[in-house]
Structure 1
């Protein structure tokens, strides 16, 4: 039988210790109190009454949250967090007035108050003194700046993958989170799925032999996420949308419905196509099972297909191969015939994890893996872990460093596809070897007044 001990929160690094309580404010003291250990994975194995909590804590024991970005994913996260009685949503922010005010009204309705404050520029609420953490759900070109500014303002951060729009931006986020000793959680909730832990146990136990290669299957094409496909004619932005703020650090371009909400992910100025939409989710699982959370490939090559015309310019299909120093190869495929999910190929057999979390493996394991007695939704477990780690100051299961390493594979794949040649990579220094042109693509300029 495969032993099953989900990893608890990691030990607190020296620079994150909170021993000198006399120098801390009352709220900071409450942040540092170790009230419970992080619950990644183990919540699946305990009675369901344990999670969510049912006793409403005193206001001084609650975590005050700011939501930056209240579109589709932002609202989904808002619903998850607001169900946790030890957190309190005090402010919401979005450049779209409808999004922001819908979120505010939802919060006030749930609390039966009119206390939730609405903002349209994320910099304004960061000046508040009553915030503990920020939950950020923005287009990819906006991932890094608010995260860095929130950390500098003393807030812990829960944010969407991939970590940043470029590798250099991602490293800046990492350095800032580490420098200001902030708790970081990437919204890779699949890491909280019991079946991911089971997959890791199978792989690491040697049951399917030494892993020779992996395949990550990602969707292909462009999906019309907002019903605006083809609406590319420049137009006046709708009332209530601060379009200049929406563009932010991206190059100026005229407003068009197909450029913004939902479908921004198919334009490389704001997103990264299906590759960057999924790489953070799947690579985090691969890194966890293979012990790659703090390293990266040494070579990346790839090919892709781009749209023949139109506003959306992200690849519609791609084939990427990443080679690691151990000899391990990871194929990242996004084609019409690609089976989605993760496939581990070992000397003795294989393990396939499907997008819904179901596991297939060969040879059959004896005895078979036990089914969890209690199944708590992985997104809830993931949110719960973040809130607990805010109090304990432990590192979360989806750290900022693992997020950087996961995103890097996708970014290097994009560079290899764009240039049509193999990229040699130094994962220790995060530099491209012997290719100045490719090296310039590790970062990008930002439109004034934005910078990192």
Structure 2
């Protein structure tokens, strides 16, 4: 597959050439040039530069002064070329390369970390390959299956590399504040959580069409089962409603609001112990995951959670009152407005300090060696909560779950913890 990276030297080799040609020493203390010296710059390879990959992640990292994308990649050539143009325009040079096969990104020795912004079915397989290649990894949420989450956690531990999740909620003031107030007992003992997730579009069945010249369709499908190309298949809202690629609104929006519920309940590293659920899959549509749903969860501490199709919303109910919001980043409301005025001594608060945005958090972790605010374990446990609901809906019966053993009390449910992967190579 053609790559512009083969036509000119990469950034690191160019820097080495300049150093060799000069009489300067091979190592210069960062104190000479400051924190943004080339030796302190983290080099990135961006894989997947669609709408979210550019607007959220590429722009998010471009806003940080101590990193630089050196290569961008997408199976849609026009997207990769446009993302490369944006990077070069940002730095006013031509040092960013473009490729259409993510394996070329992983093979480069001038890439310190990769940023994966692909459809969900590629998140873990691509992360596993990146970690195996020795790359620190920043990857979008969620996982596709419970087994994939287990594989990811194990791979990160083996690699010794930093893993960060492309999820912002713990750094968003409204959601951090909700968790902070609840964990510090403002509403008394937490008893129940209500979560609303938006209803996504229904896509009518389409007839197969020729694959555009711009698209490597085999690589887009990747480990998922092969299917015919249709015109809307690769658009973000369409593939999210197809089971082979994603879990619909439950795993997309659920990654945001259910995470706040998990944190508020001190459950960020565990899961519920039981689940019930029902969902409706549209007829005569491309959609193959529930379009609307109603789920009930119970945690080991007795807290219950109700997740349903609604506007994005969360409400946490305790023995002394409630707190929550409606709409993404909506204004906080409470049964007693004075709840919202509570302040806590940082040394006594029962939650960590509010993290910085996920891109900054990832870069800081690379430099400090600390964990990111969403490490592999956090992503796995959060995704598992949503997968439990999907499996309960698919089997249409209540299920018991053991968070320690990561298994159901139901053989059919256990079989749905994993899926086969297609040989796409």
Give the TM-score band, short-chain normalised: 0.7 to 0.9
Contact 1:217 1:341 in 2 (8 A): yes
Q: Distance in 2 between matches of 1:366 and 1:324?
A: 25
Residue 296 of structure 2 corresponds to which residue in structure 1? 321
| SS of match in other structure, 1:439 | helix
Contact 2:88 2:94 in 1 (8 A): yes
Among 362, 384, 393, the residue aligned to 1:408: 384
Residue 348 of structure 1 corresponds to which residue in structure 2? 320
Residue 10 of structure 2 corresponds to which residue in structure 1? none
TM-score (norm 2): 0.86
Among 276, 284, 292, the residue aligned to 2:251: 276
Among 169, 178, 199, the residue aligned to 1:190: 169
Distance 1:207 1:184, change over 3 A: same
Contact 1:89 1:107 in 2 (8 A): yes
Q: Distance in 2 between matches of 1:74 and 1:193?
A: 19
Residue 154 of structure 1 and its aligned partner are, at CA, apart by 1.7
Q: Distance in 2 between matches of 1:248 and 1:366?
A: 49
Matched ranges for 1:51-450 at <5 A: 57-76=36-55, 77-162=57-142, 164-222=143-201, 229-230=203-204, 232-262=206-236, 263-334=238-309, 338-354=310-326, 355-365=328-338, 368-369=341-342, 381-433=357-409, 435-449=410-424
Q: Distance in 2 between matches of 1:439 and 1:381?
A: 36
Residue 201 of structure 1 and its aligned partner are, at CA, apart by 2.5
Q: Distance in 2 between matches of 1:269 and 1:339?
A: 25
Q: Distance in 1 between matches of 2:138 and 2:339?
A: 39
Q: Distance in 1 between matches of 2:45 and 2:330?
A: 31
Q: Distance in 2 between matches of 1:151 and 1:367?
A: 42
Residue 202 of structure 1 and its aligned partner are, at CA, apart by 1.5
Which of structures 1 and 2 has the larger relative contact order (alpha carbons within 8 angstroms, sep 6+)? Answer: 1
Q: Distance in 1 between matches of 2:46 and 2:355?
A: 17
1:2-39 Cα deviation digits (max 9, x unpaired): xxxxxxxxxxxxxxxxxxxxxxxxxxxx9xx9x9xxxx
Q: Distance in 2 between matches of 1:289 and 1:297?
A: 14
Residue 364 of structure 1 and its aligned partner are, at CA, apart by 2.7
Q: CA RMSD in A?
A: 2.2
Contact 1:190 1:379 in 2 (8 A): no
1:32-70 Cα deviation digits (max 9, x unpaired): x9x9xxxxxxxxxxxxxxxxxxx7711110000010100
Contact 1:304 1:317 in 2 (8 A): yes
Contact 1:161 1:281 in 2 (8 A): no
| SS of match in other structure, 1:199 | helix
Q: Distance in 1 between matches of 2:116 and 2:181?
A: 34
TM-score (norm 1): 0.81
